[in-house]
Structure 1
Amino acid sequence: MMTSSTMNQAEWVPDKDSETSLAADLKSLFKITVLVANVVPVFAGFWLAAYFTEASFAANIDIFLLVMIGSTLVMGGALVINNWYDADIDLIMSRTQSRPTVTGNIPPRTALRIGVATSIAGFILLMFTTAEAVQFAFIGWFVYVVLYTMWSKRKYTLNTVIGSISGAVTPLIGWAALAPVSHFAPIALALIIFIWQMPHTFAIAIRKYDEYKAADVKMLPVVHGIEITKRQMIIYTACLLPLPFYLFSLGTAFVVITSVLNVAYIVLAISGLFAKDNVKWARNMFLVSVNYLLIIFVMAIVATLPWSG
């Protein structure tokens, strides 16, 4: 359990002239950038489910809104709880010291209440879609909050693998809201996200090596070294190579472009073995990884745009 003895336990009453600061604190509390990155695959999953099942997108707009808002709330709630629980180690790491759970702008008790209430609201909305969508959302929430945040993050280097499961279920939530997850397309997308998160997270861990070490977070480069981490990044990027071919139904252009991205990604990963500046190389890996996933999902949607659903 996180320590909060140095934080203000008073109820959160924002000053009347603090609207800008409040907005910034809420963005940080909900980790808006991470949240948006997780919402895009939900949209892609729903869109592709409508495409492959030849369902009318317009006729299912109510389900679309429910799954988008509901999943956003569930994921947002999980991220807030993560901020609440990690306030003690966030205090040590410079990149997280401005979070409102660290500064005290939002007291721990208030943050926890926001996280729980937001999560519950999200699950309630998802219950108006399908039971399968709720199940996938719960798996993602439980893995991120309990298995990753509260159990493995501070104990085992496998925390990255465990945390990756929560991100991988996002396209499954979107798909399941409209159709059973019996098609390989959503599974392939989930596998891409799962594997992609490993080199992506390792790149962050190398860049912020000193901070993770100071906070005693069991990231792979901290426990087993940067060179071993580099070799694992090569293996994971190589595992991405065959996955576009399982999505050949999205068109030749999709497969070709994603395959080129995969080759470029693995070449950059291999170059890390010869890098003299690990931080600079890890920064490039991080930037490529962020754009990689965005391009993959945007292309999956664009490839189906001629569809009139």
Structure 2
Amino acid sequence: MERSMPQQSAADPILESLEAASKATWRDFVEVTKPGINKSNLFATFVGYFLAAGFTLFDWSTLVFTLLGTALVIAGGCAINNFYDRDIDPLMERTKTRSVAEGRMKPTVALWYGIILTVVGMLVLGIGVNLLSAVLALVGFVVYVFIYTMWLKRTSTLNTVVGGFSGAVPPMIGWVAVTNSIDLNAWALFLILFMWQPPHFFALAIRKADDYRRAGIPMLPVVKGLKETKKQTLIFTLLLIPSSVLLFVTGANSWFYLVCALCLGVIYIALAIKGFYTDDQEKWSKQMFFYSLIYLTTILLVIMLDVVITESIAMLTK
């Protein structure tokens, strides 16, 4: 007598996801959220908050909710990025050991993990901070996941530039958490991060061109070559000067910030110009990548230090 085959339960996919989740370690759940990217974005968020709040409006509870909500939304977007890029990540040295790419975490687990983190992050911002901060986070998430990851990353050399939009949103969230408005200062913070990102990622793309070529990702150096990449790198480093000066023009920062921002920008431009006269592309791209990190870290620190100096002087002269 033949035994009837057991019918597959509708709950099986859920059970499979739970089983897969149990195989992934806690490190995999951290790694899939790209903590390095998250930390740098949270620093920018804090700077935006501190610039708006100073000593007078600084509130620890608002800051905690701002950073927590932003971190969760960014983590959610990165987890979904890992889910979507599971076909190309194994083709690149830089990404082939990611948990989803190596099969340590099932794609469905990464997807639902990302969705849950994003929703919780939105709620934290919307309820704990203000609605506008949640809207900004949502815009950054949509650009990163749908426009960059799912569309432009695989189809256009504009992927780096357009993707930079989402990376420039965090300091705006910090500013909006205090002011509940998007003014010229918020846009100045946005522009600094937005103009900084193409030179930063162009330098990385030059160094990892073979990786991107193997994965079929149309990064600028792969599609249009070094000359065009260097040209666009110079354009964006030049645009960083007026973008950074805006915070002085609005009065958010003082002369100390202006001098530091101009010095940092001039060095960046000089390095970009150097690229047209060097034969050692590897060395130059490493220098550009390394300095891009120095530039961003320093200018964000200078923004905060300028606030500390200005407000301290104001308090002492009262």
TM-score by length of 1: 0.90
TM-aligned CA deviation for residue 25 of structure 1: 2.7
Q: String of CA shifts for 1:138-171, please: whole Å, max 9, x gaps.
A: 1000000000001111001111121011011111
8 Å CA contact 2:23–2:105 kept in 1: the answer is no
| Aligned match of 2:170 | 170
Q: What displacement does 1:185 show?
A: 2.1
The question of whether the paired residues in 2 share the 8 Å contact of 1:172 and 1:181 is answered with: no
- Distance between the aligned counterparts of 2:30 and 2:298, measured in 1? 24
Deviation at 1:174, TM superposition (A): 1.1
Q: SS of the residue aligned with 1:218?
A: coil
Of 29, 34, 39, the residue aligned with 1:31 is 34
C-alpha separation in 2, matches of 1:130 and 1:152: 31
Shift of 1:181: 3.1
Unaligned regions of 5+ residues in structure 1, if any?
Answer: 1-7, 16-21
- Aligned ranges 1:110-259 → 2 under 5 Å: 110-128=109-127, 129-248=129-248, 249=251, 250-259=253-262
Query: SS of the counterpart of 1:276?
Result: coil
2:6 aligns with none
Q: CA shift at 1:238, angstroms?
A: 0.6
Task: State the shift of 1:244 in Å.
Answer: 3.0
Residues of 2 paired with 1:146 and 1:172: CA distance? Answer: 21
Q: Deviations over 1:207-254 (max 9, x none)?
A: 100010010001111111111101110111011112332222322121
Residues 230 and 272 in structure 1, CA contact (< 8 A), matched pair in contact too = yes
Secondary structure at the residue paired with 1:229?
A: helix
Residues 195 and 239, structure 1, Cα contact 8 Å, conserved in 2: yes
Q: Check whether the contact 2:77–2:118 (CA below 8 A) recurs between aligned residues.
A: yes
Q: Does 1:82 align with 2:91?
A: no
* Cα separation, 1, equivalents of 2:142 and 2:56: 31
Counterpart Cα distance in 2 of 1:124 and 1:180? 16
What TM-score comes out, normalization by structure 2 length? 0.87
**Number of aligned positions between the proteins:** 292
Q: 2-side partners of 1:76 and 1:291: how far apart?
A: 24
CA deviation after TM superposition for structure 1 residue 182, in Å: 4.3
Q: Which amino acid aligns with 2:296?
A: L
- Does the 8 A contact of 1:25 with 1:100 survive in 2? yes
Cα gap change, 1:294 to 1:151, in 2 (>3 Å): same
Code of the residue aligned with 1:13 in structure 2: it is S
Q: Take 2:256 and 2:264, find their aligned partners in 1: how far apart are those partners?
A: 12
Shift of 1:55: 4.4
Please list the CA deviations of residues 12-61 of structure 1 after superposition, one character each: whole Å capped at 9, or x if unmatched: 2248xxxxxx354334211111111111111111111113xx7421xx32
Aligned to 1:18: none
CA distance in 1, matches of 2:278, 2:29: 38
User: What is the identity, as a one-letter code, of the residue corresponding to 1:63?
Assistant: T
How far 1:202 sits from its partner (Å)? 0.6
**Larger of the two Rg values belongs to structure:** 2
Q: Distance in 1 between matches of 2:126 and 2:45?
A: 16
Is the contact between residue 136 and residue 173 of structure 2 (CA under 8 Å) also seen in structure 1? yes
Distance of 1:40 and 1:259 partners within structure 2: 22
> Which sections of structure 2, spanning at least 5 residues, go unmatched?
1-15
- What is the alpha-carbon distance in structure 1 between the residues aligned to residue 286 and residue 28 of structure 2? 26
